[in-house]
Amino acid sequence: MSFTGPSIGSGGRREAHEFGRTHVVRPKGRHQATVVWLHGLGDNGSSWSHLLETLPLPNIKWICPTAPTRPITLFGGFPATAWFDVGELSEDAPDDVEGLEAAAAHVANLLSIEPADIKLGIGGFSMDAATSLYSATCFIHGKYENGDLYHANLSAVVGLSGWLPCSKNLKAKIERHDEVARRVASLPILLCHGKGDDVVPYKFGEKSALALSSNGFENMTFKSYDGLGHYTIPEEMEEVYTWLTSKLGLDSR
């Protein structure tokens, strides 16, 4: 989580991981926005594509990629689909920066072929809310940790039941020149978290929201849900629908 602990970079050469199948939900109406939605640990793009297809958002094209299958330290090295490695779910656990960078680059590449007049967004659940938020910091910074430019022009970021990776480095990452300050103040971010979450505790979502707001993210919204565990509910998805419609300027249903 790295609210207080270190981050791990690419100190050694790692094995490259192959991304799985990408599922696409085509817009049923006028195409106004494209959102890459990322699944959680051990899941795949198909499951979320079926849920997203039911939302009354006919103007969004949903891209639901599948993460690589990789050994997961949290599982004792047992392989699972994951965008990055997770050692433990604690506040001082180190972040797998190399894995996060690869995931953010994959998402940006998926968005790079969209038409210029289409608004772009990223969303995710659990550890992949973390990937979405990491992508947001790359967009704000204009580049990845390794110095490569980040090309996707994001208009909305959604994170459900997740956390902000590398949060302790956020202040240093968002250098205060005019363009970065403009992006920080204007990028719409929606965070939602259940107070009954026993997988990614509610305090991680709460602290992530605090880290963002205290660093100038004025267009960030944090929603909490009493009794909600590590899953989503219609009330939460209704919030996502309403928020995306507003922030992306979509035609109303």
Per-residue pLDDT reduced to its tens digit, 137-146: 999 988 888 8
Q: Which of 2, 126, 132, 161 is catalytic?
A: 126
Catalytic (active site) residue 197: yes
* Residue 214 in domain: yes
**Predicted confidence (pLDDT) at residue 8 exceeds the cutoff of 80:** no
Query: Residue 72: how many CA atoms within 13 Å on its side-chain side?
Result: 18
Asked if 18 contacts 109 with a C-beta cutoff of 8 angstroms, the reply is no
* Residue 145 in domain: yes
Q: Residues near 115 by Cβ (< 8 Å), separated by ≥ 6?
A: 31
* Residue 191 in domain: yes
Separation CA 238–CA 46 (nearest Å):
21
Asked if 152 contacts 189 with a C-beta cutoff of 8 angstroms, the reply is no
* Residue 121 in domain: yes
Residue 239, domain extent: 23-248
Q: Which of 128, 135, 197, 208 is catalytic?
A: 197
* Residue 38 in domain: yes
Catalytic (active site) residue 126: yes
Counting the structural domains of the chain, the total is 1
| Burial classification of residue 214, based on how many CB atoms lie within 10 Å of its CB (0-12 exposed, 13-18 middle, 19 or more buried) | exposed
* Residue 13 in domain: no
Catalytic (active site) residue 2: no
Torsions phi, psi of 61, nearest 5?
Answer: -95, 125
Torsions phi, psi of 35, nearest 5?
Answer: -125, 125
Separation CA 182–CA 171 (nearest Å):
15
3 — pLDDT class (breaks 50, 70, 90): very low
Annotate 126-148 with DSSP letters as a single string.
THHHHHHHHHHHHHHHTB-TTSP
* Residue 188 in domain: yes
Residue labelled with tokens 């594509």 = 49
Q: For the domain that residue 101 is a member of, what is the CATH number?
A: 3.40.50.1820
- pTM of the predicted model as reported, rounded to 2 decimal places: 0.90
Condensed to tens digits (0 to 9), the pLDDT of residues 166-200 reads 887 777 766 667 788 889 999 999 999 999 999 99
Condensed to tens digits (0 to 9), the pLDDT of residues 32-61 reads 999 999 998 999 999 999 999 999 999 999
* Residue 161 in domain: yes
